[in-house]
Structure 1
Amino acid sequence: MNSLVILNLGKGNCYDGLPHITARLVRQHEAASQMQYTGSLPSVPEIPKLYNHWQQLYKALHKALRKRLSTRSSIEFDDTVPTNVSEEEFRYLGEQLQKHINKWLNSSGFRTIDQQLRTQLDPKETIRFIIETEDPFLQKLPWHLWCFFEHYQKAEIAISAKNYQQVPAVPNSRVSRQMRILVVLGHSDGIDVQLDRGLLEDSAAETLVLNEPRRSVLEKHLRDKVGWDIFFFAGHSTSQAIDTMGEVRDQLSLNSCENLSISEVKYAFKDAIDKGLKLAIFNSCDGLGLARQLVDLNLPQLIAMREPVLDQVAHAFLKHFLQDFARGGPFYASVRYARERLQGMETDYPGASWLPIIYQNPTEGSFVWRTLQPPIPVAPQRRISDRKITAVNLRNLLLPVMLAMVLMVTGLRSLGWLQSAELGSYDALVRSRPVGADISEIDDRLLVVEITAEDTDKYTYPIHDDRLAEALTKLRQHDPVAIGVDLHRYQANGEGREQLLQQFEEFPDLITVCSFGFGDRELLSHPPEFSLEQAQNQVGFSDLETDALFQPGKSVVRRQLLSYDVNLAEESSDCVTSYSFGLNLALRYLLTHGVQPLRANGSNWLLGDVEFKRLSAQTGAYQALDGQINQMLLNYRFRPKPAIRASLEDVLAEKVADNEIRDRIVLIGVVDPFGGDLRHTPFGELPGVWIHTHAVSNILSAVLDQRSLLWVLPQWGRFQWGDLLWLWLWAGVGGLLVWWVKSLPLLALSLLVACWGLRQLCLFILIQGGWVPLIPALLALVGTAVILLARKHGFLPLESLSEQLNIKRHR
């Protein structure tokens, strides 16, 4: 499902505040079902100051970069701009701007809008997010830095004016034709526009290229009778040119002699829009002013650059955008895909991913790339007599087809092409396990203290040190085995820092977290006041392994880290502990139950009689894991929140019963979405503290309850021979069904039953702790059956080995 969010900022600006904001949510194909929310934003004069400073540094850095790259350049900076600016200062300023924007959008007047949108929107759906404002600075603000878009990976931001109207509908004859692109390559002194030309000409569209055209030629082709779908411009442009009357004009440099503004060709553009022009792309410098003029003509969509752009960045954006959009990707998702790919260039080209921006007419739907498919030729029907094959021939084909199918599926799997589908099916099986099949749904050895949205509204966020110290004092009165605080406390928060540190000194089984990430120390490290002994013994790393590399777009946590050798880190970190947060807590509980301390068995850990085997590079569906990390599969319990729960307010009010705390492990963490600690799991999004709870429970259940750790079929090193035999088995099932079952309807029913039986068997084995291939086995079963069935009815010109030998004998 696709959704449209229109955020109208009303009147106001960053200096005076925005007192009247409305957010309208529209579901696609549900025009009658609309929701609207209201809010406000306070004044933030520091944000324009930060952005203006960022803009100055951007121009200075890129001026210096231009001089290093070439004496000829695609950007024209003021020669008075200083160049003695460090990239570290530029990046720091960008981080500060991002923090201020998110703090502003987390203000109380706007929080209702944010919460309502998060409640109604699905992170998996495509979302068009349009901001309506007439304020030039608010249009230029990098809204993509809002943390909202980190949680909604298929959402992208666009800007719209407050006044707009719908463009007349285009005749069907034009909608059904091939995509047409008008490419204008303007004055190109110092610019390599030919690369843009090649990218567009290679796309599946009819392309007309105008190289440094005169104004009359441009107008003529804009008024083309057939009409255009996309207008593309590459060349020199600016939104700050001054005309002879002293007025600021938005100019395109068509050739060495002619510069013009959009207003000078607005009637030609209006004609093109009426004939079906859906998108304009200005892959050139400083295009916001150009965009505003075209938006006034009610152009459906436009892509421009916020600031001056180098050739390399402009080419990369166009390349990535066309790659995704021309293959059928949604327009907004394609722009986000291309914009985020620019981040990988920011080592050499700082600020690249901030540049692209969409302007949108809200009355227009999402633009879709049209691809005309050639007619599929119809194969002549063969006579029934030509389709006959004997049972003997089919039997001779059975083993070769099975072998070919198993090898093909294994090859696809080893290349990683099945990882995403396999991991998705694994999640479905995890959710399908019957509650209590091998263990209770609640682990009563654990208590989770949730810092809820109500808590953060009442006590502020982050929770102040004195409030946290008070909660720890009240919990310790009931003698828990250990307390885990899943909160990064490098920096003091409010009053009470000394009281909080005193809790750690008095209670050695109080554990907090650090992370091996290499970003902001204020977010990632333990309190700097800790001694070395405390840093090693009262801290566990909170890093969670996700599957973003194996399942693009789905950063799901399916694996559990146990320990990590800090010497393996590529960069130094203040996090010096070797054990994970979950393992640190579990060890303290197990020690009270007489379990021997953690000890090594080669590269694996032993607790009691249970060996926690490290995952190899190829494990189950995974084909390229990091074999140096001590990790295992996380065997989730049967419900997303498998422990006793209490809120921070309940603890402070002493409403939690003594028997729910005494002799238990207590975990404290933020569940308020504004805490930004949500992670994807097979159950959907869960706060990090609940994933750590599953990790602790997994260790305790394996050692104390003899619950099986998740295992896969046997293998020799990287050779998954157990999985290979499993595929061979199910390829045989598919082949034998085709051989034995003569009736086609009965065969179809038999194959459906076999597929359902395979799924149920995989589910049963998972309940016992085993993860066996489902998707590869389905492919082997169905693929073998389809090939043999096609041969059985004469659609495939396969010959058995015995047939070929008989032909040779007769010769």
Structure 2
Amino acid sequence: MTTTRTFFNLTVTRIQSVCQFELQGEGQKITEQVDYPLSLTQRYEDWQRAYLDYYRHLRGRKTIQDLQKKELPNIHLRGWNVINKNFRGRKVISGVGKITVDRSKQLKDAEAQFLDEFYRWLLSPDLINIRREIANAARKLADKYQSVEVFLTCNPIEIARLPWETWEIGTDLGIPEKIKIYRTPATIRNQPIRPLKRKARILAIIGYDTHLNFQADKQELESLDSIAYIEFVGWNTKKSKVLNADNETELKTEIFNAINDNKGWDILFFAGHSNENILTGGELYVAPNVSLGIQDIAEVLKKAQARGLQFAIFNSCSGLNIAESLINLGLSQVIVMREPIHNHVARKFLVQFVKSLAEFKDVHQALLDACQYLKQQVTRFSYPSAYLVPSLYRHPDAELFRLKSFGFWNAVKKWLPKPKYESWLLLLLLISLLPNVQDFFLDKRIWLQAFYRQFTHQFYKQESPLVLVKIDNKSLNEDKIKQVYPLDYSYLAKIIQKLSQSNSQLIGIDYILDQGGQQPQQTKLLNQAIRGAVSQENWFVFGALSTEDENIKETVTADIASLNWSMAGDVYIARWYVELPTKINNDKNYPFSYLLALAYAVQHQKSQNSLFADLPKPQLSSQHDFRNTITQPIKSSDARYNFLQNLRLHPLSNLQQSFQPILDFSIPPSQVYKSISACELLGSCESTTQIHHDLKNKVVIIVPSGYKQAGIRGKGEDNETVPPAISFWNGWGDGIFSRSAAHAYMVHHLLTQRLVVPVPDFLMILVGALLGKAVTLIIIEKPRNQVKIFKIFWGGLVIYLLSSLQIYTSAAILLPWFFPSLTFGIYILIATRRNIRE
């Protein structure tokens, strides 16, 4: 994705006492002439004198006279005068005497006066058209993180020495921090090449140190060894510092050949002494009395540029000629120091600059970071005015260079969480694992799904075979049932007899009938009713309760029904999840709802296909556990019983703890089951339905419904708060939701193979984190794309929500929305704030 650049070329030319400003860009040209104040030159010279004087005496260093008298013979400079052995340059300075004033204050005062004079000149009314044109271009930028690029060319070199980087062009017009200034030479004969996709290669030329000790520079560069290959060449890499005519040539040849390496380089670094020289394009001092002009190595620099050389940094003095020469050769960017630079300042600058490069910032931002570091109060007290010295020269057609990580480990490190920015992710993951949090968001998610189903009219067309016979408050009152817990068994007997008369074939009883000893007469009546129904080939599934060791402890007692001709299943429900057998070889771990679905499937196949005639049916004379005889085919390889296998196994059944199917309350209850009060079935109260007239091929479940004693302990455990989706279908208001209705949903899901698998929030948070991390890396590397990414982000969230709703409906997979979207959004926000700060 590319972004249209907005840039201008600004040329400033001084001709005697007049400066001409020429702005070109966007198809137009503005030329203005402004008087050049001679006082600005005086202020610059005062500042330069104070600057050199302060750093010459920094930390008690010896004066120039001491250096010349005592140390000059030892460093063999062949008549060159030097400022101080702690400067990375050579320059003739005279008239230095003993100064007793506060040099720090003197320098700060000189800086303030110099910058004040410089800014007043740039705010001249004659330049208002140029400033307004640039500011207007900045106002038109659609992307608030985009900037206007101003490429500045200055003639002669005295004008180039001014700190143009500090010119805040748009501040007086209300457009701060939207305009970036780069330097560029007047003539450029070569075009840059695009960076090569490889691990960065850095060639570091170490010059003659003159007691400066460039070991710190080497160590800083070596800190990049995980993301770049680094090679050192030059004087300070030699074992001996004794030179003669032969090894002087050898040293130059070594540097020449290193630059000319066939593998190429991406970055050229120089630490040492340097100086301006118009004739040679600048000079680098690589050994005592040995210098290399840029023109001397221009041939190999062109070859290196063709092989990928993008960027050069000269951590040395007075590099204006050097920068212009290298940009002219086609390099993308060059950083130099316009003034002599103290060794300590050069080191501090390099530390921060390398740190920003290691964070994969472009070289301009790395330069700004380093200058800002030098400008901060802590460093400003020690190194005043140092932030004014560095400059970046850039080829107008080149993209800003930045390091990029290559290799497997570097690719992995980019994706690893950074505690500074991503400590919140662990907290979010832990929150998503809390059961109450999961239940809360699951309820809201299924409610949204119910709304979506109604909006899109995606309903089941096939009628459900489920019928609930509800023993509710209406039935208890109308039929005057006094014994509620345990329920009067004679009342159950009446219901069963009525169901038999209505041609029922499968009856589930959502009660644990283990209290026969408390009501012997009623128990006898219930036993007789059940036996009578079984003799008419009715199947029964009773409720049971398993202990932690999976042994059924509470179940129908033998004086009510025998498990040789009936079945009992566990009525436990984990809120609100479908209960499936967890161990295929454990015959005691079958849920109540599952056995009802299994019994219906067997009955249905027996009635429709003669191949299943040998499947067992309940017989009062049976001496074998009936449930085992039914479930045994599940374990067989007989192809006839594939329908049982499909009912038993789910694609994710082995991962139930993480992917246990949920109850799909997005389906309206009216499509899951029909219901009738027990008194309506018995005819003791007015009925509004005719469903009880013929119950053949139905799954009938006798359930407790809503009375306060409903539950295993008689304390209303069966009564739950109505799930939001059920309230959506039934109309909002107070009410309760019976767990028996949840059993009906389970039977429906098993019979229709509607097993909605929820993808865990934990997993989708990690997916959201990976996507967020990917977008974060894009934003950090290409901040100009940030607005487009925001639009894609919001559009993507809407698309993800709609897609997840349809995937739930069509593919029975629930993709969480809130936590993954929150995770992704936080990553985008963090990336944005990092860009703003950086």
Give the TM-score normalised by structure 1: 0.45
Richer in helix (by share): 2
Greater Rg by CA: 2
